[in-house]
Chains A and B, each alone.
Chain A
Amino acid sequence: MMIPRHQAMLRRTVLRGVGVALGLPWLEAMVPSARAASAPANVQRPVRVAVLYMPNGVNTSQWTPEGEGRDFRLSPTLLPLQDLQDQLLVVSNLWNAAANTGDGHYTKEGSLLTCTTITKTLGLDINIHGVSMDQVAAQRAGAETPLPSLELGIEPESTGVDANVGYTRVYGCHIAWSNPTTPLARETNARSVYARLFRATSPAGMGAKQDTLLLDRVLQQGKTMRARLGAADQARVDEYLSIIRSLETRMERADDPKRTWKPLVPLNSAPEPAESPAGHQEHVRLMLDMIALAFQSDTTRISTFMFGNAVSGVNFRFLEGVTDSHHEISHHSNNPEKLRQYAVINRWHIEQYGYLLRKLRDMKEGERSVLDNSMIMFASALSDGNKHDPHRLPIVLAGRAGGRIAAGQHLKYSEDSPLANLYVSMLDAFGTPVERFADSTGPLAGVLV
């Protein structure tokens, strides 16, 4: 097998200097997996991973499937996934022990993918004390695709700070963190994501070459500038220079005649999304379409999506029989009517999840589908929203990660098993194994084949 070694790329990547410990896995990540449009049908296709986050928890009485192992019956909330049951892995009784502190929402939701205890702050000391699972994968394998990862959302960034509980709302708006102090910006406009996917994959031309030169000069100038700054300010400017450098690297790679990456499916197979979606559901679906398109074309293999921000107040009265907004209903006070509405909202989220899963299932890759080659996780960072309960988190995984995941099961663990163990297994299935992740005690038994 030919292993192209891009010396320039390796050098620049190592220079990124954002505090990521670089070990042997980097070299592994540099080896592109075999691919070609004409490859035999059984060739290994890339594994993709996505996380769909739902705020505000679930009606627990309607969530958990009956039965265990392969013989399980979907709960009312999960029933919309019936035709996909053999692709599902429902994992019960996991929790994130580190998040079991103080506040109701922010501590739990912000750290869903880091499994850490966040620093309580209105902004000055933002620190999530970890790197999120998706970014651990992206930092090791993201260089194989035009975009390392794709962060999407629906609600705009929540403004202000939550003075009641003493947390900045930043924690409630981001599940993807590239380092302990950097939450990744999310895109909420599908059309702009579409344009970005195109830009990232379109063949490089003269323009790109000039842009690369321009970025090179920006870096050069930045270095002169940083010499005139104090240490703290230098770190800020270094951050900027590092993202410029990685864009430059990406553009150079795209421009390299020996480049091996090719879209698995042309991007223009999907239509341009509407500029302003008609409602919440359409907005969600347009964004999920972008994940499907990005995965199918192999523009990225890693994505996170937030249905809403923590404490989301999306008005769900567009659903039959729902009379209130999301967060309000989640505090149901055990009122039967509110619990019913809570389950309706949960089920709606599962239906959207099903929409993405079916879309990926219908995208064929040889004898398999994109879904077969993916892990699509659906999760909330709370179980019962009324109590902000961090135990027994509602989590489903779908797809087989190219045959690595033992899908078609309901796995029930002992109470309060570490959520981080699931991430150890997922990172393994993705091809970026780690020894440990946060407070993990090992892989999650039974998840991998």
Chain B
Amino acid sequence: MQSNCAACHAGKSPAGGFDLNTLTAPASLRARSDSWNKAAFRVYNGEMPPGGALDVEKREAFAEWVHQNLRSVACSDGIVPGSAPARRLNRYQYTNTIRDLLNVHIDIGSALPEDSAGGEGFDNAAETLFLSPVYAEKYLEAATLALNYASKDPRGRAKFLIAAPGPGVSAEAAATAILKDFLPRAFRRPVDSSDLDFYLKLFASARSRGESFEESILYTLRGVLMSPRFLFRTEPPNTMGQMRMLDDYSMASRLSYFLWNSEPDGLLMALAEEGKLSNPEILKGQVARMLRNQRSFDFSRSFVDQWLRTRDLGQAFQPDSQLFPEWKDSELQGDIKNQPVLFFREILSHDLSLLDLLDSKWTIATRKLQKVLYNTAIKPARSDNQGQPQRIELPEGSNRGGLLGMSAVLMISSHPHRTSPVLRGKWVLESILGTPPPPPPPGVPKLDETAAGQEPATLRERLAKHRANPACATCHSRIDPLGFALENYDVMGRWRTTDAGKPIDAKGELQDGMAFDGPNQLKAALMAKKDLFIRNLVNKVLGYGLGRGLVLQDSCTVDRIVAEVERNDYRAQSLIDAVVLSVPFRYQEAPVPSNGLKQSLPSAAKRENRP
């Protein structure tokens, strides 16, 4: 740093206000971790020192050194829970919660604006659940719609209109019975008599306007669904001077929004009432039960779609419909999008190895998917499940094992009309290994990899030429080989041996000498890097489970969970158990000191052990 940075970043007026002298003491790792992080990031990205004065190995070594130091300092304080701010339900959680509350099956959340994503890339992150003025009217509209719908459906009525006035039952008594049942379910914790009185008054005000019993109770329940206690997940503040275990009802909600993306059911609420959700064995039992429950599909869908970015299929990403008319078949679209979700869910609910995500001897697919895209031996369908996805044992040497054998993944990492080794390589680095390549250095034009114009060279030749440029080679020599190994799959994920009349060359070699030819050898190579994969997956699941971005201090929790998963032979439930039993999931931090813990983890965790 003295030789490379001090010339500008020291003295009376250090460049950019960045003064090296503030970072000389070891204590600065703790006190000024923001500055350290920034320095590491800018050096790593090649922005500093200016003019490319440092080669990439030196830049990476510097970043790694900084991050290792930052992490060891962070963990020396012991594991901390981190923040758990109040957040509104996102649109999926809103839909599911209304579904469970009223027993209605309508996509009510589609009336709400789409949510952003932050942190580890999920739309349940507290920091990106913004509130625009439009939400006020949308919530009012959705509450009205849902209650009207539910009150006209016998299943809905049976769920929440559990009493009615009649002989010996006054309107107020019926309303009381309904509210006593509804309020704790809607607010996800017990209510007191003043809460009940409050809503009974609202009920009475409607009655005094001359409205019928039913109109009045629906009006009252709309008030409940507009309450911030329903729309927001909040936890009672920690008033002690140190971290403390979360209360049982908060724990019930954390569990249910993690594994069901919805409110706690009766059993979770009962366990909370008995004070049993602080017991690790009971928690583990609940995790197993919840993963077996159909509702865990909502977790799998929400997590997998965002982790792999396959939510964009048919949304931001549309394959060219003229080149790929198969995509017009909405049933096939659904089959493609569901495959990785069902695969993940199968791993979870049967407690299989997480390494199956990298490569597996089985997969899940519908007959249509097998027939139209995979051309695999078709399992004879039972007459009762023609269109249903089914588990398939793959023959030896099949190229359909793991996530990388799935159309959804191969599509989302393509252009709409052609495959791209660069995009696929980048996808593997980002989504599988958690080691995204840095952006191109400033001023370097993007690689021209398309065949537009009259260029005679093949894509591989052009990419090779590109890698001859040292500024590009640094990253493209780790991106491109991964993508080339997947070239046997077309945009839709179909197997091919030629492209535009030329045989596919699926060979690739990484800088560390690891060479492979085709997807199966690539998967074997990734299996050798399973530590990176598991660490990335742990980051993702923990970030999703906590509903926030991870900070430097969380890396100690991540270390522990990774060790736990390895000790359990990569079994899926050991990961979920370890997240649920982790300190950040079960504890509340001490009242926040104002210095904040704001360095985000990805820049720390993802910079090391690059492939």
Contact = CB atoms under 8 A, between A and B. Distances in A.
Interface of A: 102-104, 121-126, 148, 151, 155-161, 163-166, 168-170, 173, 178, 181-188, 192, 196, 199, 210-211, 213-215, 217-218, 221-222, 225-226, 228-230, 232-233, 236-237, 239-241, 243-244, 246-247, 309, 313, 315, 317, 323-325, 328, 331, 333-338, 341, 386-387
Interface in B200-252: 202, 205-206, 209, 219, 222-223, 226-229, 231-232, 234, 236-238
A124 B453 contact: no
B450 A324 contact: yes
A237 B415 contact: no
B119 A247 contact: no
Nearest to A311: B316
A247 B223 CA distance: 15
B128 A170 contact: yes
14 contacts: A123-B117, A124-B600, A151-B132, A157-B115, A161-B117, A168-B128, A170-B128, A229-B234, A236-B232, A240-B228, A244-B226, A247-B136, A317-B417, A336-B453
B446 interface: yes
B6 to A, nearest CB: 23
Contact of B236 (A158, A213, A214, A228): A228
B342 interface: no
A121 B130 CA distance: 16
B87 interface: yes
B45 to A, nearest CB: 8
Interface stretch (B166-174, B391-399, B430-438): B430-438
Given A124-B549, A173-B116, A236-B87, A182 B132 contact: yes
B452 A337 contact: yes
Nearest to A316: B416
B121 A161 contact: yes
A240 B119 contact: no
B95 to A, nearest CB: 16
Given A217-B202, A232-B85, A335 B448 contact: yes
Most buried by B among A121, A124, A317: A124
B223 A184 contact: no
Chain B contact patch, size range: 35 or more
A169 B117 contact: yes
A183 B130 contact: yes
A183 to B, nearest CB: 6
Interface in B472-492: none
B118 A161 contact: yes
B335 interface: no
A386 B132 contact: no
B88 interface: yes
A123 B119 contact: yes
Contacts of A323: 417, 450, 452
B74 to A, nearest CB: 15
B182 interface: no
Interface in B107-133: 111, 113-123, 125, 127-128, 130-133
Nearest to B237: A230
B227 A315 contact: no
Interchain residue pairs A-B with the least CB separation, the first 4: A123-B118, A185-B113, A230-B237, A160-B121
B498 to A, nearest CB: 21
Contacts of A335: 448, 452-453
A184 B133 CA distance: 8
Interface in B143-165: none
B446 A331 contact: yes
Given A126-B128, A222-B227, A237 B113 contact: no
A243 B223 contact: no
A230 B235 CA distance: 9
A387 B443 contact: yes
B320 A317 contact: yes
Contacts, number: 243
B274 interface: no
Interface of B: 41, 47, 83, 85-88, 111, 113-123, 125, 127-128, 130-137, 140-141, 198, 202, 205-206, 209, 219, 222-223, 226-229, 231-232, 234, 236-238, 305-306, 309, 311-312, 315-318, 320, 322, 415-417, 426, 430, 436-439, 443, 445-448, 450, 452-453, 548-549, 551, 591-592, 598, 600, 602-603, 606
A214 B219 contact: yes
Nearest to A222: B228
Contacts of B450: 323-324, 328, 338
Contact of B227 (A218, A247, A324): A218
A386 B445 CA distance: 7
Contact of B606 (A123, A159, A163): A163
A288 B591 CA distance: 48
Contacts of B209: 210
A148 B133 contact: yes
Contact of B452 (A166, A213, A246, A324): A324
A149 to B, nearest CB: 9
Most buried by A among B316, B592, B603: B316
Contacts of A126: 118, 127-128
Nearest to B308: A160
A421 B136 CA distance: 34
A213 B219 CA distance: 11
Given A192-B111, A243-B135, A335-B453, A166 B430 contact: no
A317 B415 CA distance: 12
Contact of B137 (A103, A124, A199): A199
Contacts of A187: 113, 134
Contact of A163 (B47, B116, B430): B430
Contact of A214 (B111, B198, B223, B452): B223
Given A125-B598, A173-B116, A317-B322, A185 B237 contact: no
Contact of A240 (B88, B315, B415): B88
B309 to A, nearest CB: 6
B222 A159 contact: no
Given A233-B234, A337-B453, A218 B118 contact: no
Nearest to B439: A165
Nearest to A163: B436
A393 to B, nearest CB: 19
Contacts of A166: 41, 602-603
Given A159-B311, A186-B113, A196-B137, A122 B118 contact: yes
B359 to A, nearest CB: 24
B436 A333 contact: no
Given A166-B41, A181-B130, 10 more contacts: A126-B127, A158-B316, A163-B121, A164-B436, A183-B116, A199-B141, A228-B236, A240-B135, A315-B318, A325-B415
Given A222-B228, A229-B86, A317-B417, A237 B234 contact: yes
B157 to A, nearest CB: 22
A123 B306 CA distance: 15
Nearest to A334: B445
A164 B426 contact: yes
A148 B137 CA distance: 13
Given A222-B227, A325-B416, A157 B114 contact: yes
Contacts of A336: 453
A169 to B, nearest CB: 7
B132 A178 contact: yes
Contacts of B439: 103-104, 164-165
Contacts of B86: 229, 232-233, 236-237
A159 B121 contact: yes
Nearest to B139: A244
Given A126-B127, A126-B128, A182-B131, A215 B226 contact: yes
A317 B226 contact: no
